[in-house]
Amino acid sequence: MNDRRDDRGSDHPRHHDHRHEGPKRRDDHSPGPADTGFLNLEISKVILSEAQALATEVGREVLREAIRERLKERLGERLRAVGHLVADALADDLEANLAIESKIEEHRTTRQGLDERVREALSGAKRSDV
């Protein structure tokens, strides 16, 4: 019998897997020796990485601007006309909705106090019958 057998019956000795524990840290959460938490010993790599990410972003912006310019040259007036048509349709819908809301509020105001007016009318009708 092998004293090194694990729960699965394997004859291989158990080894603790340190890959999932993450880096060991001190209480002040800095990875280096004491009082060096402010240091970033690979700052040049950080700067290079940031610069590469920014360069990609700026490249996209330049492409976007170039495409915008070209579309304006070729289709600007037509796209502007379509944009105006769509904006006008949206504005018409908005104005129609506002008009409907206004009518509803007007109706609500007119009906407000109806119960009281009905009670007054009914109480006046009772007095005239007596």
The model's pTM:
0.43
Decide: residue 30, CB within 10 A, 0-12 exposed, 13-18 middle, 19+ buried: middle
Domain boundaries, the chain: 43-129
Region 92-103 average pLDDT: 97
Residue-wise pLDDT for 61-91, tens only, equals 999 999 999 999 999 999 999 999 999 999 9
The answer for residues whose C-beta is within 8 angstroms of residue 37's C-beta and 6 or more apart is: 28, 29, 30
**What pLDDT sits at residue 9?**
53
Per the model's pLDDT, the better-predicted residue between 28 and 118 turns out to be 118
DSSP annotation of 13 reads P
Rounded CA-CA distance 39/125 in Å is 92
**What pLDDT sits at residue 33?**
65
pLDDT band at 125 (very low <50, low <70, confident <90, very high): low
